[in-house]
C-alpha cells in the first residue's frame, strides 16, 4: 500500500511550494495493521472498524 500526501506551506500565494510526501507501507506494516484490527475486534468490533477506517483515511488523504 502506498499513499502520497500533498501539503502547501503557509506562505503568500505567490511563493507557495507544494511538498509531496510518499508513505510506503511495507508488507510487515500492513500485516501489523491487520493484526491490530483483529486484536481490537476481539473486544470491540465497532472500535476495530473505526481503527481500520482511520488508518485508511490517514494513508489516503
Question: Per-residue pLDDT tens for 3-56?
Answer: 555 555 555 655 678 887 778 889 999 999 999 999 999 999 999 999 999 999
| pTM, two decimal places | 0.62
Smallest CA-to-CA distance from 5 within 17, 20, 16 is with 20
What is the per-residue burial (b if ≥16 Cβ within 10 Å, else e) of 2-41?
eeeeeeeeeeeeeeeeeeeeeeeeeeeeeeebeeebeebe
- 53 burial type by CB count under 10 A (0-12 exposed, 13-18 middle, 19+ buried): exposed
Domain coordinates of the chain in residue numbers? 2-60
Amino acid at each position: 500500500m502506498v499513499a502520497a500526501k500533498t501539503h502547501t506551506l503557509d506562505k503568500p500565494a505567490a511563493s507557495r511550494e507544494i511538498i509531496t510526501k510518499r508513505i510506503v507501507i511495507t508488507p510487515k506494516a500492513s500485516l501489523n495493521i491487520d493484526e491490530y484490527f483483529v486484536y481490537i475486534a476481539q473486544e470491540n468490533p465497532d472500535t476495530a472498524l473505526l481503527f481500520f477506517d482511520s488508518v485508511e483515511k490517514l494513508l489516503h488523504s
